[in-house]
Amino acid sequence: MCLTIPGRVLSIETSDPTSPMAVVDFAGVEKRVNMIYLPEAKVGNYVLVHAGFATDTMDEAEAREALRYAAEMNEQIASSPPQGTATASQARRDALERKRLPEVTQ
């Protein structure tokens, strides 16, 4: 499954033309992103980012809608975990418990 995240370009560094980098704001989280595939992108543009690379541009309305939708999904997931599922740490403890050998007594 592929996931792209929209963000707004805050700055672009082009001193190395083989690897132009940008600082991109993802709803308050700033990350460095490789801009090699979008040489036409400008500061203020919204870009889609996948695996650290900006892959496409989008308009502000689309970006805000995508970020709003992602925030709603996160809230829904956080507030109602699926029934009958254990946390990852509980699943590890259960697996270790099943593998534990009986203690040898003298």
The predicted-structure confidence for 8-64, as pLDDT tens digits, reads as follows: 999 999 888 889 999 999 888 999 999 999 999 999 999 999 999 999 999 999 988
Q: What percent of the chain has pLDDT over 90?
A: 45
CB distance 47 to 56 below 8 Å: yes
Q: Per the structure block, which two tokens stand in for 6?
A: 């929209």
* DSSP H or E run through 27: none
Tell me the one-letter amino acid at 86.
Answer: A
Q: Domain span at residue 67? A: 5-82
Please tell me the predicted confidence (pLDDT) of residue 51.
Answer: 92
**pTM reported for the whole predicted model:** 0.67
CATH of the domain at 53: 2.30.30.140
Question: Is there a domain that residue 10 lies in?
Answer: yes
- At residue 94 the predicted structure's pLDDT band, cuts being 50, 70 and 90, is low
Length of the chain counted residue by residue = 106
Rounded CA gap, 67 and 8, in Å?
11
In a domain? residue 30: yes
What is the structure's pLDDT at 106? Answer: 47
